[in-house]
Structure 1
């Protein structure tokens, strides 16, 4: 039985509501976990945070009683090894276009005979620094991989990708998918939605967890009703920005200095 609670819940069909952290702030990660989000997703792809900062965020989520997932910056084999050895068992991998890419990534994240992950379980956080003597036998169950569908090509290959053992979740990135069709920012375009829905149907048909972010006309509750098991809408940067602008707007008559 996997000790990865997030994977257990997602595979059991529980809807997972997540919050996205771009700031790299452990305090915000802990607040989101304490607030009750099912998952805190730490973004190491579009941010400058390094490995140590990423792990600090994961530890903060865990301190708040929550479950963390990290979006990795690339498909680099060594980076997967470092993330996993740091005890980060749930990873989101961007820009998976083909079955071959997916197979390579899955193999990089699993020990033999399931893959080619390098061994350091006896001293790494992943194996509780050697206290979990069974880790190498159970690591493939602990690891939760969310592969991102972020192009129309990926959507067309979604059925074959979702069918792979180890592809636990397909997470649709509608913005980049729209961009691959020459329609960046047009996530409500009928052709874009058709591509999104094709990938979603393929994922559900394979019995895998389906994830995405809200888009206009499809909020988190609507997406859950459509079969999406993981929805990540809340974002720390957007929330801080909105709060700051609201505060300035409320008091600008009394504080008319430098304002946008």
Structure 2
């Protein structure tokens, strides 16, 4: 039973474009899926969205015919267990800085003998509440882990992390990587770009899926041409803010309104 089309498409070399959801609004998730985004990524690292709301969002993405990914809050194994048991098979993991951290993440997400994920497939959504009797045997084939490179230290060892079985994708977080170099917000600084490219080249050499966000001078189309398999740039809160400001700017003379 194929449960993770996102993984199969990414590993096969397809170029996938995605949108971030920070609002936790199921209607937005469904809209992005219906619009045609390959991936709808629900962020729980920088938002108060809890697991029950995440699952509602995932179901909305699936209703729109899309593929959902969830960025977990951190590397506590309980985050992975709850998401995976909820039937969310594509996870993004922030701030993976060392090979040991990457190994621990992979270990927590795979059943024995490949890892130490706890078993509840017979009663959880991941195993279709017991209707998929083979889930525990095939779960590793359906699990897609995108480990985030968000520091210059990680970029320097990206090849070692990418070489790990179970590290399906390295996703470069350009903003935090720049911050690790003391240049937060300076995404076009030469040393920031060099560190990004170091991680990117190592990931491609290892034959793993490479992902990132657009940055100035490197939009989604440019990144796809450079070998990035996953690019996630659109964001619901940014889009709403941009649209609101554009509307107000167009009509502000007629409606003086309040001062912010």
Using the size of structure 1 for normalisation, the TM-score is: 0.99
**Equivalent residue, structure 1, for 2:28:** 28
Q: CA deviation at 1:259?
A: 4.0
Query: Alpha-carbon deviation of 1:2?
Result: 4.4
| Distance in 2 (alpha carbons) for counterparts of 1:146 and 1:259 | 43
Query: What's the C-alpha RMSD, in Å, of the aligned pairs?
Result: 0.8
Find out whether 1:82 has 2:82 as its counterpart: yes
Alpha-carbon separation, structure 2, partners of 1:74 and 1:93? 7
Moved over 2 A (4+): none
- Out of 163-172 and 241-250, give the one that drifted further: 241-250
Q: Counterpart of 2:226? A: 226
TM-score (norm. length: structure 2):
0.99
State the match for 1:66 in structure 2: 66
Give the gaps of 5 or more residues in structure 2: none
Per the TM alignment, residue 250 of structure 1 is displaced from its structure 2 partner at its CA by 1.1
The alpha carbon displacement at 1:257 in A equals 1.6
Corresponding residue of 1:38: 38
Name the counterpart of 1:252. 252
Q: Which runs of 5+ in 1 are unaligned?
A: none
- Cα distance change, pair 12–22 in 1 and its aligned pair in 2 (3 A): same
Q: What count of residue pairs does the alignment treat as equivalent?
A: 260
Q: Deviations over 1:67-125 (max 9, x none)?
A: 00000001011121010000000000000000000000000000000000000000000
Q: Alignment partner of 1:48: what SS?
A: coil
Paired with 2:60 and 2:257, the residues of 1 have a C-alpha distance of 37
Q: Deviations over 1:4-60 (max 9, x none)?
A: 100000000000000000001000000000000000000000001111111111110
The equivalent of 1:109 in structure 2 is 109
- Aligned partner of 1:147 in structure 2 is 147
SS class of match (2:192): helix
Determine the structure 2 residue equivalent to 1:176. Answer: 176
Per-residue deviation at 1:150? 0.1
* SS, match of residue 48 in structure 2: coil
Do the aligned partners of 1:2 and 1:138 also contact (CA within 8 Å) in 2? no
Greater Cα offset, 223-232 or 51-60: 51-60
Separation in 1 of the partners of 2:156 and 2:212?
17
> Does residue 1:161 correspond to 2:161, yes or no?
yes
